[in-house]
Structure 1
Amino acid sequence: MHKLLTLVILALIFIQTTTYPSQTFGDIDRPLFADPNYHGSCDPEIVWIEQTKEWWIFYTARRAQRENASYVGTPIGVVTSKDLKTWQFRGYCSFDGIPGAPDMDVTLWAPGVIRNGDNYHMFVTYKDNATPPWGGDGVIRHYIAPADNLLSGWTLAGIPNFQQPDPIDATIIRHKKQFRAYYRVGKNGIQHSTSPDLKKWTNHGKCDGAVNAPPDERGFGYQEAPYVFHWKDKYWMITDPHKGLAVFHSPDGLTWTQQDSIMKAPGSAPSDATRARHPSVAIVNDRAFIFYHTEPNRPYPSPKAEDRTPHQKISYLQMAELTIKDGQLTCDRDASVSLP
């Protein structure tokens, strides 16, 4: 009887933490995707795979339904689409021949992925343990995989000079004949490095301008997950201060000016009814689509990580369209999206 009661309670917890009705906004659904194992999909990195003509989202697969160690021991998951409308879960990435699985002995977070020639390069936050709540200091590792084996073919290329240890959330762009990486380093703000070949990196320290201005000027202190892209003749940087998404723009990707934040007000879909978190962006025929995650049951201000319940920790991947109005990046997350 005791075992039966335990199973019933676990089943009720599972239903409570995983069930959210889907809503359609034109050609997209919300939620866009939920990890099938622990319902902790977050930190999406959207990448166009030219060789297979597919969109791949690499994401952190948190173990949200665990009572503890939810944010460590996490693999990198993959979901793919031909048209941005219908998505298929492909599994978890393998690194150096070690298969990806829902429960890992190490911790992998927030991949930044870029193509160079026939190969793809992933810069992922790595910790050599799964000790809750956060696993201690980590490094950003550089892995390489061929286009025909992006799930299982990742091999270590090195540890770049990103002011290690403890940087997180790298995003990589190509600028003329060089590459740039942007990432957060502990309490030392949003920083950047440059490379001619994705192998040899020069660290330039903190990014200039408003992105590292004093908290009372920015309107927030902590921020993470810098994502940089070029669109409409400007460089844009979106960061996650847990207060909606902060937005900065730059003519050269070096010195940043702040605009109003976006996506703090909740969306109307139940799975989207909270502030947006940790974004990436796909440019399609000069339109910009933002991919982000939500934690619809998480209260703000939040309890400490290990005090959050499984219900509070579940997260979903979402999608919306960005627009520019009066020179400012904006997003109506409830707008119907028509895809080509």
Structure 2
Amino acid sequence: MKSPLFRDPIYDGAADPVVIWNRQAKEWWMIYTNRRATQEGPKFGWVHGTDLGVASSSDGGSTWLYRGTLEGLETGWGRNTFWAPEIIWHDGLYHMYVTYVHGVPEDWTGKARIRHYTSPDLIRWEFQSTLGISEENVIDACVYRLPNGMFRMWFKQWNHTYAAESKDLYDWQPIGPVITERGHEGPNVFRLGGYYWMIVDEWRGQGVYRSNDLETWERNGIILDQPGKRENDGTIGLHADVVVQGEEGYIFYFTHPGRVIGHNEDSGYEMRRSSIQVAKLEVVDDVLICDRDKEFELNLGAED
């Protein structure tokens, strides 16, 4: 499998990917936080003021072509910040829940909310609302449909995972905390090998939780915490998305290739640049494992 899977050719800062089948174009799309790794400026301005980048694949995810950035997301004047999109398809529309930060802060002081947009084609987006799930900063939405037909959203609040629920994807009611162990962000939920799984980015790898019912979660280990041998894969795996097709699961994550484990200095392009990688997930003896060095063929099929 090609490594790295994708690098943004404009700013070289692709991060927080979501991978989804584009039903209109009949190809896979990767939509991601378009961090500006090449941008000089004070402190953490380079991770703010970001658009959502788009890459497409017509060969089942093996190769990716940069296509540009999503347009029409701003609802007011000025330059603002878009992070970590979550996109699902339901009843003829794509629903996107994206973190929105007002303006371009140079530090981690911005006021963050989750915004809801809808689209018929992943290109034309209509703003629906800013979710009222919390008065505090909330980021990194993940949405999964429950067996009873309700929708559950997991998101980061106060460095832990909280949840909200909706009947229709528009009106969300907060539930409260779900995962309150060590600090983390970027929850992602999927089903594989007979269980539901949640991974969270612990900034030292992806913490893994297992569930039978999407309500009670049990710690199951950690993945992507050890450096891989592939190009641009020699450090921890960050903020990930998982695509499951049949009995096969694939995790799309990003790395900072210029950093080493335990070293998070943000100064300079080499420390800032990022690459998207993909690896195969497997369930062995009821444990989720990921051998990021294992050879495999990625060939995602069309989805209904």
TM-score above 0.5, yes or no = yes
Task: Go from structure 1 to structure 2 and tell me whether the alpha carbon gap of 1:127 and 1:37 turns closer, same or farther (over 3 Å shift).
Answer: same
- The CA deviation at 1:127 is 1.1
52, 55, 68: which is aligned to 1:91?
A: 68
Match of 2:137 among 135, 154, 166: 166
Whichever residue aligns with residue 289 of structure 1, its letter is Y
Q: Which residue of structure 2 aligns with residue 73 of structure 1?
A: 49
Matching of residue 311 in structure 1 with residue 270 in structure 2: yes
- How far is the alpha carbon of 1:326 from its aligned partner? 1.2
Give the counterpart letter for 2:36 in structure 1. Answer: R
- Aligned pairs, how many? 292
What code does the residue aligned with 1:247 have?
A: V
Matched with 1:216 is none
Query: Residues of 2 paired with 1:165 and 1:286: CA distance?
Result: 38
Counterpart of 2:79, as a letter, is D
Report what 2:197 is aligned to: 236
Return the alpha-carbon distance in structure 1 between the equivalents of residues 198 and 74 of structure 2: 34
Alignment partners' CA distance in 2, 1:196 and 1:108: 26
Contact 1:72 1:134 (8 Å CA) reproduced: no
Contact kept, 8 Å, 1:129 with 1:135, in 2: the verdict is no
Q: Which residue matches 1:185? A: 157
Other-structure match for 2:215? 254
Pick the aligned partner of 1:335 from 294, 301, 304: 294
One-letter amino acid matched to 1:65 = T
Distance 2:74 2:162 in 1: 31
Q: For residue 36 of structure 2, what is the aligned residue in structure 1?
A: 63
Please state whether the residue corresponding to 1:311 is helix, strand or coil. Answer: helix
**Following superposition of structure 1 onto structure 2, how do residues 12-27 of structure 1 map, counting pairs within 5 Å?**
none
AA aligned opposite 1:35? D
Q: Which moved more, 1:88-97 or 1:113-122?
A: 88-97
Q: Distance in 1 between matches of 2:61 and 2:172?
A: 33
Q: CA deviation at 1:303?
A: 4.7
Aligned 8 A contact 2:164 2:174 in 1: yes
- Give the whole-Å Cα distance in 1 for the aligned partners of 2:272 and 2:26: 34
- Identical aligned residues as a percent: 34
Structure-1 separation of matches of 2:47 and 2:91: 34
Per-residue deviation, residues 208-251 of structure 1 (Å, max 9, x unmatched) = xxx323xxxxxxx3211000112222110001111111000111
Q: Unpaired segments of 5 or more residues in structure 2? A: 300-304
- 2:298 matches 1:325: no
Counterpart of 1:154 (choices 113, 118, 125) is 125
Amino acid at match of 2:17: P
1:278 offset after TM fit, Å? 0.6
Distance 1:256 1:243 in 2: 20
Cross-structure match for 2:180 = 212
Structure 1 match to 2:302:
none
Pick aligned residue for 2:17 from 44, 59, 68: 44
Equivalent of 2:165 in 174, 194, 212: 194
Report the TM-score when normalising by structure 1.
0.82
| Structure 2 match to 1:263 | 224
1:269 to partner: Cα distance = 1.6
Using the TM superposition, name which of 132-141 and 246-255 deviates more: 132-141
Residue type matched to 2:102 in 1?
A: D
2:265–2:271 Cα contact (<8 Å) kept = no
Q: 2:236 touches 2:261 (CA, 8 Å); kept in 1?
A: no
1:246-272 CA-to-partner distances (Å, cap 9, x unmatched) read 000111111110011011111112301
Equivalent of residue 297 in structure 1, options 252, 258, 276: 258
Indicate whether 1:132 and 2:139 are aligned. Answer: no
Task: Give the SS at the match of 1:312.
Answer: helix
CA distance in 1, matches of 2:126, 2:263: 37
